[in-house]
Amino acid sequence: MTRLEQSRNAWGTPEFEAVFKAELPTLGNALPLQQGLAAGSFSLTDSVEVMIIRQSADADFIRVKAGLFYESLTPGCACAGDPTVESEQNEHVTVLVSINRTTAEAVFQVLDV
């Protein structure tokens, strides 16, 4: 299970946005990047950027709607004469991140593809 303990602990403080934006990219393959692909074949997790769109909370969950910006790769076969070459494509996916206020467990829901 994915946990966002730093973000949960920072909720309600002025540092929340910075902490959330820093913690999310560290999750690597736990992020739903592959589901958001539009141009490439494989999502790359080494340069994920986060934009917070909206944030709210109730007694049980902190909810953050966020845009994730990343790159994907369309690999070629690297054979002589292959017209396709490896190329990185810009990608974006909007997600709803629900963080349990007690356990810090995070659930990701892809909102658009």
Q: How confident is the model over 12-16, as a mean pLDDT?
A: 97
Is residue 65 over pLDDT 70?
yes
- Beta-carbon contacts of residue 26 (< 8 Å; ≥ 6 apart): none
Is residue 91 over pLDDT 70?
yes
By CB atoms closer than 10 A (0-12, 13-18, 19+), residue 95 is buried
Tokens read off for 2: 């994915």
Is residue 67 over pLDDT 60?
yes
- In the sheet with 61-74, reading across from the earlier edge strand, the strands are 42-57, 61-74, 87-100, 106-110
Which domain range does residue 47 map to? 5-110
Q: How confident is the model over 23-27, as a mean pLDDT?
A: 96
Q: What single DSSP character describes residue 59?
A: S
Q: Domain tally for the chain?
A: 1
pTM of the model: 0.86
